[in-house]
Structure 1
């Protein structure tokens, strides 16, 4: 039973997933700091306080929802422009370079390989 558990934990996918979760958490902190400490104050400086939590429609706290939507859009922009867009551009360039490169020559037939081996053996003996 412990061997199965060990095998499960050491499978490549589980380890990759664990690393991705840890890196994702750390990256999430970076993005949240970028939004809270850099972009939100910048938006506040340009257009007034970016806090809508005081807006209410009767008993409905509409401002909190607006804050969540604005935060989602700012986080999305903070991820898209410096991370996703450059990665997409790099992927396009890589694919373009692969398409421009000539395809490797096809493998020679078995008979040709055998004849080459025989020829090299004869040259070695001579």
Structure 2
């Protein structure tokens, strides 16, 4: 059981995932700071924040004014897109390029280059496998 756990932890995917989570969390703090210190003040030039500091449309409700704080939504969207962009260009794209180069060194054709068998070829392969598995009858 310990041996299996050790193999699981030392597998490259687990380490990559842990690094991505840590980098993503740290980068999220940076993105939130940028949005709150640059983007929200730019939005505040157009819309006046309410007494709670929320930026958005204010509508008169039954018990007073209600603000729909789209600034928070914009903050979340920009944060998500920025983190996704960084994770893609820092982790996903370089790993894909690395895998393609490793496959090219080994001489393995890329998945897109390998032609798929036709339906007839697949049926012939299935027939041959079934014939091998069937007991010989005399």
Q: Which category describes the TM-score, using the shorter chain as reference length?
A: 0.3 to 0.5
Normalised by the size of structure 2, how large is the TM-score?
0.44
* TM-score of the two chains, using structure 1 as the length reference: 0.47
Whose RCO is larger (CA < 8 A, sep 6+)?
2
Query: 1 or 2, which has the higher helix percentage?
Result: 1
